[in-house]
Amino acid sequence: MRECFIVRPLCAVFVSGLLSVSCATTDDPRQGGLISGMHSIGTGAYDKRIEEREARLQRLREMQQELKSEQQQLEADRSERQARLDELEGRLKRLDAESRQLLTELQTNRAHLAENRSRQARLEQDLTALRSAIADLDRKRDSDTSVAALESERDRLEEEYRLLLDLYLELGK
């Protein structure tokens, strides 16, 4: 009987320890045991966890939809900007071609201008020479040389002078 007094309290302590460990409950289905699972089902903790997870899943789906919508908007913006870039590149190529053509025309016009200036200088020399010849004829006329010959020479020189003056004026335009 004496052994009973010692063994029984030890058994009681051991059984109460086992019961306290096996009765510990948690809402997490990954932890706990049968009693914890039955307790969670009974109190609605599992249903609450399922609802929380479903709500979280719904928020994630909404975020995913928002991100997808944003991605589509970004893609549309990118396409629009690419089209604008293509348009600007085409315009730049046209402007480059026009610039090259204008440069060629400028060089050609500079060459023509230099040529015209040279011709103008020659014509000015010719005009100066003709004016001098006319002045000489006027002096000869005053010295009683053959009037008819001098008038004929003067008329010829005046005609040549008019032609050169017209050409000079035309080049000056």
What confidence category does residue 49 fall into, taking pLDDT thresholds of 50, 70 and 90? Answer: confident
Contact 49, 32 (CB under 8 A): no
Single-letter amino acid, residue 124: E
Mean pLDDT of the chain: 80
The listed range with the strongest mean pLDDT (8-12, 47-51, 107-111, 168-172) is 107-111
What confidence category does residue 135 fall into, taking pLDDT thresholds of 50, 70 and 90? Answer: confident
- Mean pLDDT, residues 13-37 taken together: 56
- Which residues neighbour 24 within 8 Å (Cβ) at sequence distance 6 or greater? 32, 36
Q: What per-residue confidence (pLDDT) applies to 105?
A: 94
- Mean pLDDT, residues 100-124 taken together: 91
Q: Residue 137: how many CB atoms within 10 A of its CB?
A: 21
What confidence category does residue 60 fall into, taking pLDDT thresholds of 50, 70 and 90? Answer: very high
- Mean pLDDT, residues 13-25 taken together: 52
Whole-angstrom distance, CA of residue 120 vs CA of residue 115? 9
Q: What is the pTM of this model?
A: 0.42
Q: What per-residue confidence (pLDDT) applies to 166?
A: 84
Picking from 4-13, 19-28, 62-71, 153-162, which range would have the lowest pLDDT averaged per residue? 19-28
Better-scored residue on pLDDT, 137 or 64 = 64
Residue at token pair 């590149």: 89
Q: What per-residue confidence (pLDDT) applies to 93?
A: 96
Single-letter amino acid, residue 28: D
Q: Is pLDDT above 80 for 24? A: no
Q: What is the DSSP letter of 75?
A: H
